Chains A and B, each alone.
Chain A
């Protein structure tokens, strides 16, 4: 048998790692990163030049079932607005966030897939005819632009144990499942393969190099299979090979001497108790906030997606017969108060959790600023008024300025604009090329100029 038949340049380690000798690997990135004194790539994470500002990060933060209508919209627009009592939990971070009101998701005559269509519209720019069709989400678009050169393309997590609670997708072949266990996420980020960027000594692990070469061999099959595959399956197969490339990139990252990141520390793993009770979700969310913040600070990823849980929220107080979703439809409106009291309480917990998330990012100092300063968090929900499955008057929030690319502290009061304008504005701020985003009535081409710097 021929020694090299069928083997491409990328496939195989060409040199041998023996006695610390230099190694060359078929993959271009490895050729440069594995030079003997380990200086390649070390100028900055992911290719950033030494001394350059740290790159921006982006994440989504999804909570189900919206807020109580008529109780959260501030009276005034612009800076210095007063947060209503329903949003009092956000006051400590008001200057770091933007609040968008009055926006809607258009169905264009399609059936309203309750607790799905609205979130789909905001996450992907389009609303599909049925629940099975989903397309590339905003985090993927932004990640393709700012997320390269990290260990994880993105990290998806959910706080109530339901791995299907996700709005992140690349392509049209299904959602990226969410991690349900903080301890599993901890192991992925800070377990095997994690290289503390602030440790002086670094040695590439030959076993990781072998794993990398294995994946390169799998990648070699791409062209052959892509030629033979049926047209209807081509995109799906391509998405599989994109995942292979992501994994190759992860291993390549682990083989690289990381640049020092003074803000990077390894958190404690802790313990976990996964469930849908309010206290369990709160604790899980706190763990994820901490883990994601440290992952960003340690240059492991620049993209994350967190959901509090399914849009059909199973969140519950102990002993309560109904979960949050059922309550939105079935809890009577208190005639004196004018709202559903338990639903309001639960919605306010969501805002408390969001504040805690933002404060966690803001608590990590990086030079003269914080991790939050170079991040944009996009917080969205499934319905304007969940009780009625309303597609209007969506509450939307952003936090952080993406490294000074967005202003903060504003209330943007819209009058029936497509909610996709918020996602589009963030894309423009982070430099995603493209003059428009979305489909049909949800297509937008004008960012909110007052938010952009």
Chain B
């Protein structure tokens, strides 16, 4: 994959005199970058060799199922900014170290031990265009050049000056947040649309999970991106790029709440095969399966529930209890082997994968309620309310009670309480089917010596086990509409308005007939002018 094309060319871009800040009618909104986006934005500008240590720690807020929506509501705490400032210093030091200067810093100063405003201005303008994802204003360039001058003077080192200026841009809100500028829509003066630069960012973060590259910035600068044809060209270009896979992975990591792996604590004393490696592999298995299914094979999203095609590593194969055939890939650095679970078995689709089963379990015990809740919330966009206060769970949760040996028995008793039944009826008929998988995702047929009954029902459709549940989910219309709405919300970092829901319903009607293919879906969203409108008060 050509991850970093034309590295020197990136920084040899144009210095543009246009002001990015314009009319009084504009409005600014902010969306916080995720740690992954922060790291990628740096790598895309300065090369993947730049270390960005420890940026993965940040507290995302999940809003209506997505961290992407929470990013429009969160800011940076003092402790987080402290970390980002340390990272900025670390990155700036690497960019300006002697070995990288020839590649990344085109202009040679008159002297290494004194300020050079002309050279500094060239660096600031070039780097700033990528970091702020728009040209710097004259005032901004002057500001960072002044920072460089003062630092160079103080430390008798021109490059220390550049280091300071770069560190300043890396902690600026224009870099750490996606600043979205809006302007009146010429086609509809009553409403606001994103300006060309913000449109480029929205598109790029949606499809690539990173900042715009130079071609996209050029399209914004020329105004071409604001025309339907220009937009189409960029959408196709971005979708054809290998970077589209990381955009897809970022979306599904958010949708499937894979960030929760950070605090997963499946007890390895109870599940000795569930090691740290298994956690990493389980996460990757899911993303690899999805990328292969949606991008490589261009299959229907809904078939992710029923596919038996996946990829395994030896530790994962041990959890699943399947023999792993030898593969050419074995022995390489990444021993992933394509694998198809046998027909008739229970490991079917996303719900049969370790990542889903373990993330929605207790540390030592499976939980039909947590799993059923996850299916409702993640795949069907239904909210399951928390249990009411003053409910006594303990009487019928006694796992040693000989009358209630399986979780199904105990939950049936629990649902006899009407206050509990309304929600458990949403979760349990789904989750109980998945009881054939233990907390680590391993297959089992009994619980406390009693056979597990994996029968269940979804919206009146009954099934006997996980394969039936998977088919019911695939055929559930709400699964497609939920996915489409989440995809839009993720890209726009806001939920759709009622009007947008109407055209999303049209998209759904069309795709349900033709297949809910990832590229078709994001293409329709990314080409639609509504995707680039600004809804006042969306934060």
Contact = CB atoms under 8 A, between A and B. Distances in A.
Contacts of B117: 1, 3
A319 B270 contact: yes
B395 A16 contact: no
A329 B394 contact: yes
A174 B156 CA distance: 42
A1 B155 contact: no
Contacts of B141: 1
B81 A243 contact: yes
A13 B364 CA distance: 58
Interface band, chain A: 35 or more
B160 A210 contact: yes
**A13, A209, A218: most-surrounded residue (chain B CB, <10 A):** A218
A27 to B, nearest CB: 13
Given A114-B386, A389-B391, A228 B28 contact: yes
B74 A174 contact: yes
B28 A233 contact: yes
A269 interface: no
A111 B365 CA distance: 28
B265 A319 contact: no
Interface stretch (A76-84, A157-165, A359-367, A442-450): A157-165
**B58, B267, B398: most-surrounded residue (chain A CB, <10 A):** B267
B419 to A, nearest CB: 12
Nearest to B92: A214
Given A5-B139, A322-B362, A322-B364, A275 B265 contact: yes
Interface of chain A: mostly helix, strand, loop or mixed: loop
Given A6-B139, A230-B27, A214 B147 contact: yes
A332 to B, nearest CB: 5
A236 B21 CA distance: 20
A132 B73 contact: yes
B370 to A, nearest CB: 10
A185 B109 CA distance: 40
Given A174-B77, A217-B144, A243-B76, A236 B393 contact: no
B263 A162 contact: yes
A31 interface: no
Interface band, chain B: 35 or more
Nearest to B62: A132
A174 B73 contact: yes
A6 B28 contact: no
Given A163-B57, A218-B172, A246-B78, A387 B392 contact: yes
A318 B364 CA distance: 10
Contact of B146 (A11, A209, A332, A389): A11
**B117, B140, B165, B394: most-surrounded residue (chain A CB, <10 A):** B394
Contacts of B150: 12-13, 210, 213
Contacts of A321: 267, 270, 362-365
Nearest to B269: A319
B197 to A, nearest CB: 14
Contact of B539 (A152, A214, A230, A326): A230
Contacts, number: 258
A177 B394 contact: no
Contacts of B389: 112, 114, 388-391
Contact of B61 (A18, A132, A390): A132
A153 B78 contact: yes
Nearest to B182: A230
A361 to B, nearest CB: 22
Interface in B394-415: 394-395, 397-400
A430 to B, nearest CB: 20
Contacts of A332: 394-395, 397-398, 400
A37 interface: no
A329 to B, nearest CB: 4
A414 interface: no
Contacts of A7: 142-143, 146
Nearest to A169: B77
Contact of B79 (A176, A209, A340, A390): A176
A239 B80 CA distance: 12
B89 interface: yes
A183 interface: no
Interface string A275-288: 11000000000000
Nearest to B391: A388
A81 to B, nearest CB: 29
Given A111-B386, A213-B164, A330-B394, A11 B21 contact: no
Contacts of A221: 140, 143, 172-173
B29 interface: yes
**B74, B78, B262, B387: most-surrounded residue (chain A CB, <10 A):** B78
Contacts of A231: 537
Contact of A132 (B63, B143, B270): B63
Given A112-B386, A218-B168, A322-B364, 10 more contacts: A1-B145, A6-B142, A162-B263, A166-B59, A173-B75, A224-B21, A229-B30, A230-B536, A246-B82, A331-B394
24 contacts: A1-B121, A6-B140, A7-B146, A18-B156, A111-B386, A112-B388, A132-B63, A174-B59, A177-B77, A177-B79, A210-B164, A214-B151, A215-B85, A215-B171, A220-B143, A224-B21, A236-B30, A240-B177, A247-B85, A318-B267, A323-B362, A326-B365, A332-B395, A390-B390
For the complex of A and B, 10 pairs with smallest distance between CB atoms: A321-B364, A6-B139, A177-B59, A330-B397, A246-B78, A173-B75, A329-B393, A243-B81, A174-B74, A176-B77
